[in-house]
Structure 1
Amino acid sequence: MIARTILIVDDEQRTRQGLKKTLDQWAVGNYEILTAEDGKAAWEIFRSREVHLLITDICMPEMNGLQLLKTLRTNEQKTVVLILSGYPDFEYAQEAIRLGVVNYLLKPTSKKKLIEAVEQALEIKAANERIEYIQKVADPRILQMEENTPLKLPIKKAIQYIHEHLNDSITLKRVADHVHLNAAYFSALFKEQTGLNFSEYLTRKRLELAKSLLLTSSLTVDEISRKSGYQTPKYFIKVFKDYEGVTPSKYRKSAAVKGPSV
């Protein structure tokens, strides 16, 4: 597993080294701690790799901290940011808030306060990733139904069974038998409760699984089609394109994002 990255940007070498030493001891290998001497050097790092947390000073030569943040936002970089500055300037703080900074610490700060701020920022990063992941993977109709619709017990059991057997050959009769209902009655009740007919619900849930695997695994499209319950990759690709507007391969390339942090 590749370690996540925290980048410290400060033109004072002693400060950089002190912050890095503190965070190296805290991270115990779970995060790679990098440093840069100014915004320009930091931007070069951003151009070559993902940075999960940025800790930056404001007043630096070449490119200051706020200029760096503006560059990151312009280029749609989604890192979370802590400001660590020696200047308790209200205008700086206002601009930092406008640019999405999650905390503004004043130098000198204690190791305890620094680590608390870092942990809080990383929790925000994880929450943002989960939200982005859900937005990319979750089917909006199913999400709305699951969040807002009280379901009768047989339908709850049916949905749980579907979720546990998405890669199997599921039929309406098989699920109806599982919840001890007549197939015709179960079909009508399922549509009434969920707003979707059985086959459409099953397709949407299988595509949610497929999208999750496309974004979080290196499995081939053929392997993902089988794990999502499709007998042939050709049919899987057709269904995927009908619902998502692109092929699975194009979806993976255009929507790549890490899964939610654990």
Structure 2
Amino acid sequence: MMNRKLNALIVDDEAVVLNSMKKRIMWDKYNVENVYVAGSMAIAKKIFEREHIDFMLSDVEMPQGSGLELFEWVKLHYPATECIYVTCHPEYDYMRKAMLLGSVDYILKPIDYSELDEILTKLVERLQSEREKEEIPGDIVIRVAVQESQENHNQSVHDAKRFILEHIQEDICVDDIAMTVHLNASYLMRTFKKETGVSILEYITNERIKLAKEILLSTDYPVTKVAELVGYPNYSYFTKIFKKSVGVGPKGYRNENAKSHF
């Protein structure tokens, strides 16, 4: 049953497309209360700064900032927001990057609204579902925390890393980290990259994969549960990210390393 009202954002540089999607999609069916529109990346950012957006429908090719660049920014500042790409480009490179960023799906123009209905229905069901969060086994967290504490970084970076580990199951926002360590978000991102060699977003991904590897080898939890424990409710996205990082999928990693771990 759907309880919480949702907010959606449509991003496209063609006014005809914006108006058509806003009018033709039966938003009430998806429990969407507010539908915002933006004709550019800059306008979309301003909307994000003043409104809570649950999901967006975004074109890929736009002047002054593509849909891919926009979603990279969204994932950094508003990681809970989901994205569906609406595009004229079926090219592999575009869609590969879109899926690696964690987009829910994509649909080609001209839009097949019955296909879009299926995508939106699945997305909204997932957004509305209540997930019971289980705790990561304490000994696993301690092992990872000890490894991180041995790194020689300044106090702000250490505090940021500790915040990330403590909230690894949640949608982590750079602004929240910055507030916790009492630094400007831009300054924190620069300092973090300089001290660690990776961006905050890359570090969060690395930590999630590191924890996932520990859980896979220390427990018999199903991979879907491991994905949720480290902050990836989207199982398919988790397996793609894991394989990209480790070179093999989570099941393969467990099978190859389980015996040597014990």
TM-score after normalising by structure 1? 0.47
TM-score after normalising by structure 2? 0.47
